[in-house]
Chains A and B, each alone.
Chain A
């Protein structure tokens, strides 16, 4: 069976700065993998290499068996199968929530307006912002915006969802709504690669947790092991800081 994501010896340089120093990992279909690690450790870059928002310097990334940085690969077609959710939401501010969810369906999947609207409404309903269809992003709370962004990605019927710290820009009281939506997605069997600092979510929802530091994977295993019983000093130090920030 092909892996949902397969990453082999992935390196990424920004000029002299080697941000990823040989990443190997796989994500199986239906799995939820959480990536944790200190700021600047290369988590976002790793995620962005999967849908080629960053071009890998060296190594291979396969999504559903297709090598994404093969010059012959149809990158737009690959991206269509991958939903991406950003820390800053990146909703289109000149469109309503409904239009945000419709536009790519119409322009990329060539769905008719009626179908696109129906699917958009279903997905907005699903993430709990069904009554906000006609609101512009600026009229929505951060939590609502992020859920619209998730609906926008889901409307494309992705086989895989990437989340880059989806709750980091939210006020604490709004984090729960977004995590609840992600939890529901995981239960439905969506394949998810999630960069997050929400240890509760990682512990309860993830099949595997990957701890990254300095551009390498330090630890990779079930949450009970990586979070509950970390083997490496670096992991312990990091978890200590995340779980007990006040000390």
Chain B
């Protein structure tokens, strides 16, 4: 340890940290400029525009892009979200239950549905009628999509709720119980409302995740009136042998997801200051 400062002694002639930082930043800018120049020189702009930015094809996507595709995407996502919100709360309460078997069941559910790909869950739903003859998911494609997103979303939402419920101080329950509330009543009048406030930001992010996962309805074999944004973009791209519709579909997702992402960030920050 004693020779540590000695080793630093010759550093006298080296650059100060601040100077070094300034040079490092200059290098970063130089690399960026070089990359942009190379891109401008070597990219085939005409071909790119021809493949990704054909306004005439983009125009053909209207109005179905919004009235069918985005609408369906929202229906799938919101439906799956409501499903996972309700069942996520139930699974979270089970996960925290003093009754062992409830805890184990909840844990098992969460581990399974967070541990397998969402796509696999969708494929399972497709094959469900084979396994259970005569069984059909109600509401057809909408029902299947919402079930698939809901089953997966429930596992994530349950973990979000569990964290939220555990973040409510014990004293809150104790105060409620001291006023003569039963355990259940204390939970629902005092703990759950506070937990919901705590989980709003992560839940917003979870909704964005579901919105993106709703593209998996592709594997349910949706068509016609049921197509979502991704499938719609893909179909249009095939029809016109052009990638523009996929780019447009992507931008349409961003119209929804980017504002929600900002909202979640804002809510997070607000929570940080008000508590």
Instruction: Give A contacts to B, CB under 8 Å.
Output: 51, 53, 76-77, 79-80, 82-84, 86, 88, 90-94, 103-104, 107-109, 138, 149, 152-153, 156
Contacts and interface: CB of A to CB of B under 8 A. Distances in A.
B182 A94 contact: no
B197 A76 contact: no
B175 A92 contact: yes
A80 B177 CA distance: 9
Given A107-B185, A107-B189, A138-B274, A53 B172 contact: no
Interface in B161-188: 169, 171-172, 174-182, 185
Contacts of A51: 178
Interface in B193-209: 193-194, 197
Nearest to A80: B180
Given A92-B190, A138-B274, A104 B180 contact: yes
B174 A156 contact: no
B172 A90 contact: yes
A86 B174 contact: yes
Most buried by B among A86, A88, A93, A156: A93
Contacts of B189: 103, 107
A107 B179 CA distance: 10
B174 A53 contact: yes
A53 B177 contact: yes
Nearest to B182: A76
A195 B177 CA distance: 20
Interface of B: 169, 171-172, 174-182, 185, 189-190, 193-194, 197, 274
Given A53-B174, A86-B174, A107-B185, A94 B180 contact: no
Given A107-B185, A107-B189, A138-B274, A88 B179 contact: no
Given A107-B185, A138-B274, A93 B194 contact: yes
A63 to B, nearest CB: 13
B169 to A, nearest CB: 8
Contacts of B169: 90
Contact of A152 (B174, B179, B185): B179
Contacts of B185: 107-108
A91 B194 CA distance: 12
30 contacts: A53-B174, A76-B180, A76-B182, A77-B180, A79-B177, A79-B178, A79-B179, A80-B179, A82-B178, A84-B178, A86-B174, A88-B171, A90-B169, A90-B172, A92-B190, A93-B194, A94-B193, A104-B176, A104-B179, A104-B180, A104-B181, A107-B181, A107-B189, A108-B180, A108-B185, A138-B274, A149-B175, A152-B179, A153-B178, A153-B179
Most buried by A among B190, B194, B197: B190
Contacts of A88: 171
